[in-house]
Amino acid sequence: MKERRLVSLPNLKEAAKGRGLESSVRYEKVNLKPTSFLASWGQGKTFCIKTYGCQANVRDSEIIRSMLLALGMKEQDDFLGANFILFNTCAVRENAENHLYGELGRAKKQFDKDNETIIAICGCVMQEEFAVKHILKHFPFVSLIFGTNNLVEFYPLLQDCIQNDQFIVDVRSNSDLVPEGLPEDKTGRASSITAFVNIMYGCDKFCTYCIVPYTRGKERSRKMEDIIAEVKCLKEQGYKQVTLLGQNVDAYGKDFGDEYAFATLLEEVAKTGIPRVRFVTPYPSDFRTQVFDVMAKYDNIMPYMHLPVQSGSNSVLKRMNRRYTREQYLEIVHELKKRLPDVFLSTDIIVGFPNETEEEFQDTLSLVKEVGYDSAFTFIFSPRPGTPAARMKDEMSDEIKHKHFDQLKALIDELSTKRAETYPGKVVEVLFEKVSDKDSTRVSGYDRHNKLVHVKGDASLIGQIRKVRITESHTYSLIGELLDE
Ligand code: SF4
């Protein structure tokens, strides 16, 4: 058995301390050049990355993929035969964590075949001390564990792991760091058409059900000039869409004292002329109406917004520590629709938060009807260890939770279907992204409102923005035909 070196273990309580201090944010130009040792180690080797969870994880995986490709390694989809296997984990829901443990069992088969295989885990689960201890105890073949804020140390950790033949756990907090110089170009990105651009890291909101503020550290914004430079670089490489990324994008700039900075940033990004701009995820009460004015002014900012509400009941919102009321949320939606009447909205809703009453649940249904969402991600509450909500006593039965979930899902489906039924005959603009998974004679993309559209065609359409007449509607997708241009 290899020697195990614990550089640092995560500590959720410590992670919540010392936040919100502007002076403690560290902007650092990182040097990610691989050593000659790693560059020669990587030649001819293969890797496999499995990513769970949100877009922040997708972007983190892209950065690591870039670093592995720079070593001359090749990517493969399956664990079997891979020299390096990475699981980028998500701690937001219990299911994702349990799935990880199942997948680790499969990865062990590869390790049993070749015990030189390096199995690594990163992401939010690895910021939880109990999860790290669980892995150390039950999955001793895992070679390397690192945290969400240790991406910049990936090369030295990997080298240590190989050279010193050690199992390494390094989950330093690093939660004051804003790294620049991470790989930005096409290499490693999941798509050559659409790209995520981090504009800020971390979260200061501490919703009582959520682990993210502990795992990703405090809110800290990148400098505007660095973000704009990245968007310009992507545009030059032919990208058609950027999605500005952060846990609370509209809080961008608050850490450097400018609560209107997101509106300014959005405008500057739109001015680069990149064909499509989206952003995810905003926090309702961080919005300033200036953002909506900018959205209305620039045609390349898409008229779509994912605006998590979580509940339509003020008492539940309070128990969740969401920092707005139902009335304030509706006011934000009203202000947005006033400026962008054709905006489409989607949201996140948690059903079955501890002791949610029938009346509280009905408040959620009525809010959903009032807003008229185009789609929604709905979840049954899943307690995350270490969060305040996990300690709340809950008298609700699973039966009621599932009943409420089904009711909400049926309402959202009904709203989406009604909206989709208005489409046939309309002409929409679609950015084509890929050949359809189900039918290779079809290509798929999204319209300006983020509706999935399929047309007959081939891969030559990928990357093009084309006009499509919709001929058929389904609840969550549309079928259309290309118009000659
Ligand atoms: S805003 Fe709330 S739900 Fe979103 S990441 Fe922060 S704590 Fe989690």
Ligand 1 centre to CA of 203 (Å) is 6
Q: Any idea which residue has 């620049």 for tokens? A: 180
Burial, 212: exposed, middle or buried (Cβ in 10 Å; 0-12, 13-18, 19+)? buried
Q: In the structure encoding, which two tokens stand for residue 178, read together?
A: 């804003």
Ligand 1 centre to CA of 101 (Å) is 25
Q: Which atom of ligand 1 is nearest to the CA of 92?
A: 8
Ligand 1 centre to CA of 405 (Å) is 21
Q: Which atom of ligand 1 is nearest to the CA of 204?
A: 6
Nearest CA to ligand 1 atom 2: 207
The pLDDT value recorded for residue 2 is 54
Classified by CATH at the fold level, domain 309-322+338-420 comes out as Transcription Regulator spoIIAA (3.30.750)
Q: In the structure encoding, which two tokens stand for residue 365, read together?
A: 């249904």
Tens-digit pLDDT profile for the chain (485 aa)? 555 555 555 555 555 554 544 446 778 888 788 999 999 999 999 999 999 888 889 999 999 999 999 999 999 999 889 999 999 988 777 777 788 888 998 888 888 889 889 999 998 877 777 788 888 888 888 989 888 878 888 999 999 888 887 678 877 666 678 888 888 778 889 999 999 999 999 899 999 999 888 888 889 999 999 999 999 999 999 999 999 999 999 999 999 889 899 999 999 999 999 999 999 999 999 999 999 999 999 999 999 999 999 999 999 999 999 999 999 999 999 999 999 999 999 999 999 999 999 999 999 999 999 999 999 999 999 898 889 999 999 889 999 999 999 999 999 999 999 999 999 999 999 999 999 888 889 999 999 999 999 999 999 999 999 999 999 999 999 999 999 76
Nearest CA to ligand 1 atom 8: 210
Which amino acid does the sequence have at 276? R
Classified by CATH at the fold level, domain 427-482 comes out as OB fold (Dihydrolipoamide Acetyltransferase, E2P) (2.40.50)
Per the CB < 8 A criterion, the answer to whether 156 and 180 are in contact is: no
Which of 12, 201, 207, 208 most suits a substitution to test ligand 1, by most atoms within 8 Å of the C-beta?
Answer: 207
Q: Which atom of ligand 1 is nearest to the CA of 321?
A: 2
Per the CB < 8 A criterion, the answer to whether 284 and 332 are in contact is: yes
Ligand 1 centre to CA of 210 (Å) is 6
Compute the half-sphere exposure of residue 65: CA atoms within 13 Å on the CB side of its CA: 24
3-177 maps to CATH 3.20.20.140:
no
Closest alpha carbon to 89 in 74, 110, 76, 107: 107
Nearest CA to ligand 1 atom 1: 205
Q: Which atom of ligand 1 is nearest to the CA of 283?
A: 1
Ligand 1 centre to CA of 207 (Å) is 6
**Predicted model pTM:** 0.90
Residues 6+ apart with CB under 8 A from 314: 325, 326, 327, 363
Q: In the structure encoding, which two tokens stand for residue 51, read together?
A: 């990513």
The pLDDT value recorded for residue 174 is 65
Measured CA to CA, the distance from residue 152 to residue 147 in angstroms comes to: 10
The pLDDT value recorded for residue 5 is 59
Ligand 1 centre to CA of 374 (Å) is 22
Ligand 1 centre to CA of 205 (Å) is 6
Ligand 1 centre to CA of 6 (Å) is 29
Closest alpha carbon to 28 in 176, 182, 190, 179: 179
The pLDDT value recorded for residue 163 is 86
Classified by CATH at the fold level, domain 191-302 comes out as Transcription Regulator spoIIAA (3.30.750)
Ligand 1 centre to CA of 247 (Å) is 7
Nearest CA to ligand 1 atom 4: 247
Q: Any idea which residue has 């080797």 for tokens? A: 45
The pLDDT value recorded for residue 172 is 66
Q: In the structure encoding, which two tokens stand for residue 393, read together?
A: 């006593």
The pLDDT value recorded for residue 444 is 96
Closest alpha carbon to 107 in 132, 136, 82: 82
Which of 55, 90, 200, 205 most suits a substitution to test ligand 1, by most atoms within 8 Å of the C-beta?
Answer: 205
Q: Any idea which residue has 């919100």 for tokens? A: 20
Ligand 1 centre to CA of 360 (Å) is 21
Q: Give residues (CB < 6 A) around ligand 1.
A: 203, 205-207, 210, 212-213, 247-248, 283
Identical fold, 191-302 and 309-322+338-420: yes
Which of 248, 285, 287, 316 most suits a substitution to test ligand 1, by most atoms within 8 Å of the C-beta?
Answer: 248
Burial, 299: exposed, middle or buried (Cβ in 10 Å; 0-12, 13-18, 19+)? exposed
Q: What is the pLDDT of residues 118-165, one digit of tens each?
A: 999 998 877 777 788 888 888 888 989 888 878 888 999 999 888 887
The pLDDT value recorded for residue 419 is 94
Q: Which atom of ligand 1 is nearest to the CA of 213?
A: 7
Q: Which 3-state string (H, E, C) describes the chain?
A: CCEEEEEECCCHHHHCCCCCCHHHCEEEECCCCCCHHHHHHHCCCEEEEEECCCHHHHHHHHHHHHHHHCCCCEECCCCCCCCEEEEEECCCCHHHHHHHHHHHHHHHHHHHHCCCCEEEEEEHHHHCHHHHHHHHHHCCCCCEEECCCCHHHHHHHHHHHHHCCEEEEECCCCCCEEEECCCCCCCCCCCCCEEEEECEECCCCCCCCCCHHHHCCCCEECCHHHHHHHHHHHHHCCCCEEEEECCCHHHCCHHHCCCCHHHHHHHHHHHCCCCEEEEECCCHHHCCHHHHHHHHHCCCECCEEECCCECCCHHHHHHCCCCCCHHHHHHHHHHHHHHCCCCEEEEEEEECCCCCCHHHHHHHHHHHHHHCCCEEEEEECCCCCCCHHHHCCCCCCHHHHHHHHHHHHHHHHHHHHHHHCCCCCCEEEEEEEEECCCCCCEEEEEECCCCEEEEECCHHHCCCEEEEEEEEECCCEEEEEECCC
Q: Where exactly are the structural domains of the chain?
A: 3-177, 191-302, 309-322+338-420, 427-482
Ligand 1 centre to CA of 477 (Å) is 29
Ligand 1 centre to CA of 61 (Å) is 21
Q: Which atom of ligand 1 is nearest to the CA of 322?
A: 2
The pLDDT value recorded for residue 14 is 59
Beta strand pairing call for 177-180 and 46-51: unpaired
The pLDDT value recorded for residue 20 is 45
Which of 175, 201, 203, 204 most suits a substitution to test ligand 1, by most atoms within 8 Å of the C-beta?
Answer: 203
